[in-house]
Amino acid sequence: MKRLIIGTAGHIDHGKTTLVRALTGIDTDRLKEEKQRGISIELGFAHFTLPSGQKAAIVDVPGHERFIRHMLAGASGIDMVVFTIAADEGVMPQTREHMDIIELLGVNKGIVVLTKKDLVDEEWLILVEEEVRDFIDKGILKGAPIIAVSAFSGEGIEELVANIERLAEEVEEKPAFGQARFPIDRVFTIAGFGTVVTGTLWSGQISVGDTLELMPERRLVRVRNLQVHNEKVSDAYAGQRVAVNLQGIEVADIKRGYLLVTPGYLSPSYRVDTRLRLLQSSPRNLRNWNRIRFHLGTDEALGRIVLLDRDELRVGEEAFAQIVMEKPVVCCKGDPFVIRFYSPVTTIGGGTIIDPNAPKQKRFKEDVLHELMVKEEGDLNEVVQHELMSNPKEVVSLVELAKKTGSSEEQVKKEINQLIQEKKAVEIKKEEYISYYGLELISKKISGTLAEYHQKYPLRDGYPKEDMRSRFFPDINGKIFNFILKELEDNGVLVNRDNKLKLPEYSPAPNEKEKEAISQIVGLMNENLFSPPSLEEVKRKLSLKDDTLQEIMNYLTDQGVIIKVTQDMYFSKKAIEEGKERLEKFFAFEKELSLATARDIFNTTRKYALPLVEYYDKIRFTRRVGDMRVKV
């Protein structure tokens, strides 16, 4: 069966809660003050089953102007609205404000219910119906059915239920795949179970045992139990009202407005780029840097409006705007939001999120406005390509692209595959992508750097890989950089060996002067196999500069001609091999080797014998046992 969320809306005391009780048998006024005053203060919830067997959840919102923020929290995520207008009063101030909010949130399916039919005569009811029809036909619920009911006598309830059932068939169900996103609207505790949060699951699914991330706190929590329609379940799906019993967190650590999401899916932000519309009913224009109240989902934040192409937004107009928050908010591209003046607190407009993690934008910049236009109006292929090109050398995951574009991972995957075929994108690793242009930029930078390096240091085996990353690509982590290098190596751009990078055609090659010095150095080392000269002695005898000698010694080490035994001591390859042969002969007759014996075998001093036998231990030719060595 389809998952369905119905929300109420309407002016205070226009019969929302009484109507819900007539439909479901449940009184959604839970608080003592609500019972005493006869008005809803907090959100109420009920569930019922339609004649077809279709289950639905109802979110009952308060109508008083003081509790509009609660109404906004409840109206977010609903599939259809039951909009109540009392037959004895007609259209009232909060009727208009609630209708504005419903329109700003994009709730385009609904039924208008004229409540308290039993309090008016037929002639008055006809007049009210005409007024209401004229009112609703100017907004998002144009053409919606108008049904007059009496919740006390039950007249009209059956017709209302039939219309709810008909409209439910038209509701497009929220996708149950992808990342979970669950705005919290209530937090409480139950003895024996602990912390419980409720809300409407906007996307994905939640299962018992799942680990979720509490945002914006970035805290991991575990799902202990789930309930849907007061029934214990193992899984909950997008489009359901859900109660989630959380493990390992206290009630005091959670607030309405927080979200539970798939770990790593969303990031808190202090800046969002938007398409902002100021209602025709707004009491005044909106000026740049005006302070406002920002409502998205169940969250409320104070913020400042940055108008990007003008100094003042007039009533009825819309424009690109950045909202700078006073606390972090968590949202996705395409999310609807509502703004209210800071003081006096009235609903004045709203819009949709274009960039949920926006950088600080400069005003009156054509490139900024063009970028926002592409993000907002471009088809998905264009928007995905734009996201890849906005930071061309950045590797972006499929999950991140879905979040930035406000689309499903399946939709984005289809477009990214097309871009790969067109050589506009490259899959660096599974579901991790970079723009083709960005990869070319990286390739050119690395190739150019290696060419200069090889020319400057012709004896070196290659450029240290980590130095290349940290110096020129510090924003790319080491793991991703390795995947990029693998892509470039597969394309024949470079060779990556032993954590050193070089051009494919390059190999170290000493010039004539360096060849002569190499010959002399190897000769000196071989003259005294087991008492080799120090670098200082070599430098003095051959009149070499420090950097020249070091380059040659590094080259000889890379080539395996010279073996570096300690930080300051080198032996020739001939010495190492000769030493092994002498030890082989010794171990043919003896089981253990002392340092003094090794010194005699090599005919050298302790200064050279100790580093040499330790080197043999290191390469596992020998093994130290106490003060002795044995053959491995």
pLDDT digits (tens, 9 = 90+) for 74-119: 888 899 999 999 999 999 999 999 999 999 999 999 999 999 999 9
158 lies in the same domain as 39: yes
Contacts of 260 (CB under 8 A, 6+ apart): 180, 181, 182, 184, 197, 206, 212, 213, 214, 215, 221, 244
| pLDDT band (50, 70, 90) for residue 31 | very low
pLDDT digits (tens, 9 = 90+) for 240-275: 999 999 998 999 999 999 999 999 999 999 999 999
pLDDT digits (tens, 9 = 90+) for 130-151: 999 999 999 999 999 999 999 9
211 lies in the same domain as 273: no
Global pTM value: 0.77
323, two tokens: 């909202």
500 lies in the same domain as 523: no
Report which secondary-structure segment, H or E, holds 404: helix 398-405
In a domain? residue 561 = yes
45 lies in the same domain as 99: yes
147 lies in the same domain as 35: yes
- Closest among 252, 457, 469, 274 to 373, alpha carbons compared: 274
292 lies in the same domain as 327: yes
146 lies in the same domain as 131: yes
492 lies in the same domain as 550: no
Q: Does residue 324 surpass a pLDDT of 70? A: yes
AA identity, residue 46: A
pLDDT recorded at residue 66 = 67
Q: Which long-range contacts does 538-546 make (Cβ < 8 Å, 24+ apart)?
A: 542/517, 544/517
Q: Does residue 1 surpass a pLDDT of 90? A: no
470 lies in the same domain as 520: no
Contacts of 392 (CB under 8 A, 6+ apart): 434, 435, 437, 438, 441
In a domain? residue 373 = no
Indicate the range of 25-39, 140-154, 500-514 predicted with least confidence. 25-39
**What angle is formed at CA 356 by the lines to CA 353 and CA 360, rounded to 5 degrees?**
105
Domain count, the chain: 5
582, two tokens: 């002498």
In a domain? residue 214 = yes
**CATH number for the domain that contains residue 190:** 2.40.30.10
d(CA 347, CA 98): 9
Of the candidates 319, 343, 368, which is a domain's last residue?
368
**Average of per-residue pLDDT across 28-55:** 68
Ramachandran region, residue 610 (left: φ > 0; alpha: ψ -120 to 50; beta: rest):
alpha
pLDDT over 70 percentage in the chain = 97
133, two tokens: 């029809």
**Average of per-residue pLDDT across 189-205:** 94
Of the candidates 345, 368, 391, which is a domain's last residue?
368
pLDDT digits (tens, 9 = 90+) for 569-603: 999 999 999 999 999 999 999 999 999 999 999 99
Q: Does residue 27 surpass a pLDDT of 90? A: no
pLDDT over 90 percentage in the chain = 88
For residue 214, the Cα-to-chain-centroid distance in whole angstroms is 13
Q: Does residue 421 surpass a pLDDT of 60? A: yes
In a domain? residue 485 = yes
- Closest among 207, 300, 221 to 260, alpha carbons compared: 221
As a whole number, the mean pLDDT across the chain is 93
Give DSSP secondary structure letters for 244-294: EEEES--GGG--TT-EEE-TTS---EEEEEEEEEE-TT-SS-EETT-EEEE
Q: Does residue 33 surpass a pLDDT of 80? A: no
In a domain? residue 90 = yes
pLDDT recorded at residue 177 = 80
In a domain? residue 319 = yes
In a domain? residue 174 = no
Distances (CA, A) of 121 to 114, 117, 127, 146: 13, 8, 10, 17
Count of CB atoms situated within 10 Å of the CB of 389: 16
**CATH number for the domain that contains residue 522:** 1.10.10.10
In a domain? residue 331 = yes
Q: Does residue 124 surpass a pLDDT of 80? A: yes
d(CA 6, CA 12): 18
23 lies in the same domain as 140: yes
**Average of per-residue pLDDT across 320-327:** 98
Q: Which domain holds residue 461?
A: 378-509
504 lies in the same domain as 518: no
Of the candidates 119, 139, 168, which is a domain's last residue?
168
308, two tokens: 């990007």
396 lies in the same domain as 440: yes
Give DSSP secondary structure letters for 196-255: EEEEE--BSEEETT-EEEEETTTEEEEEEEEEETTEEESEEETTSEEEEEEES--GGG--
**Average of per-residue pLDDT across 426-430:** 96
Cis status, amide bond into 216, omega within 30 of 0: yes
